[in-house]
Amino acid sequence: MTERMLPMSKAINEGLRRAMADDDRVILMGEDIGTLGGVFRVTEGLKTEFGENRVLDTPLAESGIVGTAIGLAMRGYRPVCEIQFEGFIFPGFDQITSQLAKLTYRHEGSQSFPVVIRVPYGGHIGAVEHHQESPETYFAHTAGLRVVSPATSNDAFWMIQQAIASNDPVLFFEPKSRYWHKGEVADDGVPVPMHQSRVVRTGSQVTLVGHGAMLAQLMQVADVAESEGTSVEVIDLRSISPIDYGPILESVQKTGHLVIAQEAPGNVSVGSEIAATIAERAFYSLEAPVLRVSGFDTPFPPAKLEGDYLPDVDRILEAVDRSLAY
């Protein structure tokens, strides 16, 4: 097995390159993704390699980008759209939720719409308004969309290829604060299925669940908790819709305690859904209420206050302590 150390941004770039080389129906679309290589340089070099007919710089019009991608998918292409920042996705929200998500159902399965929408999301980068939000719940709520978020470079490399290969529309949420963190990428390994959650650290007393950038925080929490004598199991969701509950249920049956962490606000969220489902399906295994640690139910604050808004190691550890105190 060949392994390389790559930052997540480069891992996604390599995944896109492989998908484009394997299938000439794969087309990239987005604002400044061609000559510039995107704001985060995720598509850097791909226009030079594959040409301007396959790496398209679009107008500043998210609705137009998604609408064009839907038309291309109907003609047999596999378009990959980039939304420059997550806060800019809402001009295309109607196209995504009212059209793209429903068209296969409307055609009774006779027409597929293999559109991938790449969405850099989340905080920890000190950016301005509309540049650090976590809107994944809107799309996880919408039937007909697949929603995933890699937390590691290896997952980013493989999952972008899996998303492009899917015949269903996929919202691919990329935790932008992890773009520059390097991790091992297995070029010729066997990828984990795109919608499978994964135990990344085993433990016996508390289960921690999160996705995207939260995984790095949860691993830090597990280190601190272990130094204090608490054994923590960490699960990376990887897929937000559908959610693979199997590993979570098995873990909770073992630990009896569950803490869910997310950057998004807690009200009517992915964490809320997981908490409700585990309470329904593993009630007699729980020794304490399911606890959630999230962003607050406010608009994302100015950059200087993001440290107070986003869940950190201390807030998650406090939830672990509360859970074990029941």
Q: Output the CA–CA distances (angstroms, integers) from residue 282 to 76, 206, 243, 253, 326, in the order listed.
A: 44, 14, 16, 7, 17
- Residue identified by tokens 């390389």 is 4
Q: Which of 124, 130, 131, 141 is catalytic?
A: 131
As a whole number of Å, the end-to-end CA separation of the chain is: 46
- Kindly report whether the peptide bond that precedes residue 242 is cis, defined as omega within 30 degrees of 0: yes
Q: What are the E-state strand segments in the chain? A: 3-7, 26-30, 55-57, 78-82, 116-121, 146-148, 170-175, 182-186, 198-201, 206-210, 232-236, 239-241, 258-265, 291-295
Instruction: Indicate if 131 belongs to the active site.
Output: yes
DSSP H/E element including 217: helix 214-227
- Residue identified by tokens 């608009």 is 299
Number of H helices, E strands in the chain: 12, 14
Q: Which of 234, 228, 243 is nearest to 202 (CA)?
A: 234
Q: What is the dihedral of CA 169, 170, 171, 177, to 10 degrees?
A: -160
> Do 82 and 30 meet the contact criterion of CB atoms below 8 Å apart?
yes
Token couple for 85: 């920042």
- Residue identified by tokens 């937000």 is 240
Active site (catalytic) residues = 131
